[in-house]
Structure 1
Amino acid sequence: MKGELKNIRTYLMTGVSYMIPIVVIGGVLIALAIALSGVEAGTGANVTNPILEKMLNIGVKAFGLMVPILAGYISFGIADRPGLAPGLVGGALANEIGAGFLGGIIAGFVAGYTAKWIKSWKVHVQLRAIMPIFVIPLLTSLVVGTVMYIIGAPISSLMESMTATLKSMGTGNAVLLAVIMGAMIAFDMGGPINKVAFMFGAAMIGEGVYTIMGPVAVAICVPPIAMGVATLLNPKKYTETEKEAGKGAIAMGLIGITEGAIPFAAADPFRVIPSIVVGSSIGAAIAAIGKVGDHAPHGGPIVLPVVDNRIMFIIAVLVGVAVAALMVNILKKDVVEEKKEENDDEEISIEF
């Protein structure tokens, strides 16, 4: 069991290692374009300069490759070259149905294990040459495509249900609503659950209620900033690649790009996701208590010019970041210690 869990982590890290440059390219370019253009009340990020528009478009296109690359290289890690194309297809479909990076992880594992299984088939010698370039990718793509379309409908229904629940809560219990929305924002960082909370907050701006988007704006920036700060507070718990990604994550968080935390969550979901969910929820709750309002459908410190009660906004962000960063560092092990445990597991399995 331990050996299989180690393999799963290895496959995840394969996908994450190839995804990180894409996240950095997309996140930094989008952040620069928005930072140099600014955020306006009512409309949010408003990039009109032609050069900055092109910079933003490059960043958006790079971000569009993030989930397919994650899924493709998870599948590649499991099944080698025959798994790459089906994993990329599954990741693209995860994007299409709005399943986010969690959908990409599912697609990667489905594609990888399906391709690995088909590779094990005993086939006629004349078919062996075309198996890795035709049969395996084709059949695996059909399988992973079917799975992604099957989970698409439940994801859509879940989004509608969550939206209805948030609407039914109204603004009566502002703190509880903020806690729930903060958790939703952090849970899948740009995925379907995140988008429900964000779109609800943005819709309330149109109704003249800005104290819903205020806590959301805080929650949006907590995950990436917290993960970046965590790498600085205790670098022994992170790989060199993660430490570099942490710098980019801080920049993305300042501009309100939650996806900056995705590489960390994909690599270690059971420690990172609970930590950032708690941090974002607490930050959002503090913002609600302080009646923080945000007049723009965007998040992060970049929206400060259009925020009501800016001091409480800053306090909420700082507390949320501190909680998430400290919690994740308490939960995570040192990289050296983790590798030692993996090596010990390998030695035990060899002895058996």
Structure 2
Amino acid sequence: MSLIKQELNRIKEALMTGVGYMIPFVVFGGICIALSIAFSDMSSKGVNITNPILKVINTFGTQSMGMMIPILAAFTAFGFADRAAIMPGFLGGLIAVNGEAGFLGGLIAGILAGYIVMAIKKIPIPATVRALVPIFVAPLVGGLSVAVIMQYIVVAPISGLMKTLTLFLQNMQGGNAILLAAILGIMTAFDMGGPVNVVACLFAWSFFSDNIYTLSAPVAVAIATPPLGMGLATLLAKNRYDSIDRESGKAALVMGMIGISEGAIPFAAKDPLRVIPANCLGGAVGAMIAMAAGVNEYAPHGGPIVTLVATHKLWYLLAIIVGATVTAITANFLKFGFNNKKKKINTTNTDTSSD
């Protein structure tokens, strides 16, 4: 069991490494796409970009977003086996994109490349040629191995799965859509920028190429509800929070406005059993409202800052407000019910000792 846990931690750390290197591409691409869309004709049916300058900006953004999966795969592999794994990982990610295996294919490529290169580096090699391993042996053997496995084993079933999922999402209506929104909202709000959040966000954003933007709206809402919710909680019950929490609340409000989930981490770290469920509930409620209203969100980010590139803007903002309010009320209810009881016990103990 400890070995399995060790490998799971290794995969988690490698994934977060890949995400860290991928984020600049997502940010650049997202900003360019959002700017080009914001100043173009936009409706619930899509976007019509006619300005030549905006078209160029949109192209830059699309190209940057197109590198998201290969970069994720390359640096996830790097997280396993350092720079010798970058080329096999990148190649595997590129094969995943070309084979329409999407985000899931890219993850598999990165993990596969990482383990293959790790195995290659453990092979006994004479010291005279060991320097060639990272620049020749690992890229050649690892690259060929990853390419063959991805092309002839992984791509076909994963591509089929992604196409089925895309078709399902395109035809999804009613309760199924609301349920999926709730799941995405819970995952996005759960660990506030951690691996579960990242999986939910990348899953939603990976369907941009299929012109599916309804999944990114629930995620965009749930990105903001934890920090806004906990910031609001400190305002609703100022006397219940100490000065450090109140200052953290102010910072969380600012971070929530610009779509940074990490603003809620100080509260979750201090009281995870109450704050995390409150975050998840608020994220789910906000996400469901966005999905029910049919909001499309065209930027791979979240929070009020991207309202300009969302359809049904009032509904989008209302989803954030309601989700944050649910988080705030739930967190305060859970925290103060326990704290009041604890305070009575302490008072009783103090009075008894003084007698």
Quote the residue 1:24 is aligned against.
Answer: 27
Using the TM superposition, give the Cα deviation of residue 120 of structure 1 relative to its aligned residue in structure 2, in angstroms: 1.3
Q: How many residues were matched structurally?
A: 282
Point out the more displaced range, 111-120 or 39-48. 39-48
| Contact 2:36–2:55, Cα closer than 8 Å, also in 1 | yes
Question: What letter matches 1:130 in structure 2?
Answer: L
Change (3 A) 1:64 1:303: closer
Superposition RMSD in Å: 4.8
| Residue number in structure 1 paired with 2:178 | 178
- Return the match for 2:307 from 267, 284, 301: 301
**How far did 1:20 drift?**
2.5
Which of the numbers 66, 70, 87 marks the counterpart of 2:89? 87
Is the CA contact 1:98–1:192 (under 8 Å) kept in the aligned structure 2? no
Q: 1:12 is matched by which residue type in structure 2?
A: L
Cα deviation for residue 191 of structure 1 reads 4.0
- More deviation, 120-129/189-198: 189-198
Name the aligned partner's letter for residue 79 of structure 1: A
Conserved? CA contact 1:39–1:303, under 8 Å: no
Query: Residues 121-165 of structure 1, C-alpha deviation per residue, up to 9 Å, x if partnerless?
Result: 123566544332222112211222234332322233324444665
Whole-Å separation in 1 of the counterparts to 2:123 and 2:88 = 18
Residue 57 of structure 1 deviates from its aligned partner by: 1.9
Identity within the alignment, %: 35
The answer for the alignment partner of 2:221 in structure 1 is 222
- Matched residue type, 2:84: P
TM-score by length of 2: 0.59
**Residues 32/11 of structure 1: CA separation in 2 closer, same or farther (3 Å cut):** same
**Residue pair 2:112, 2:146 contacting (<8 A) in 1 also:** yes
CA distance in 2, matches of 1:288, 1:280: 12
Larger RCO (CA under 8 A, 6+ residues apart): 1
Q: Does the CA-based 8 Å contact 1:184-1:193 persist in structure 2?
A: no
Alpha carbons of structure 1 residues 22 and 321: separation in structure 2 relative to 1, 3 Å: farther
Q: Is the 8 A contact 1:83 1:137 kept in 2?
A: yes
CA distance 1:53–1:75, change in 2 (3 Å): same
Compared CA separation, residues 124 and 318, structure 1 to 2 (3 A): same
Secondary structure at 1:144 match in 2: helix
Compare CA radii of gyration and give the structure with the larger one: 2
State how far apart, in whole Å, the 1-side matches of 2:19 and 2:230 are: 16
- Deviation (angstroms), 1:86: 0.9
Q: Which amino acid aligns with 2:307?
A: P
1:64 to 54, 63, 66: 66
**What is the one-letter code of the residue matched to 2:77?**
S
> Following TM superposition, by how much is the alpha carbon of 1:87 offset from its aligned partner in structure 2, in angstroms?
1.5
**1:226-259 Cα deviation digits (max 9, x unpaired):** 477589899x9xxxxxx9xx96x965x7xxxxxx
Distance 2:224 2:109 in 1: 28
Please name the residue that 1:34 is paired with. Answer: 37
Residue 28 of structure 1 deviates from its aligned partner by: 2.0
Q: 1:30 to 1:323 in 2, by over 3 A?
A: farther
Alignment of 1:195 onto 2:207: yes
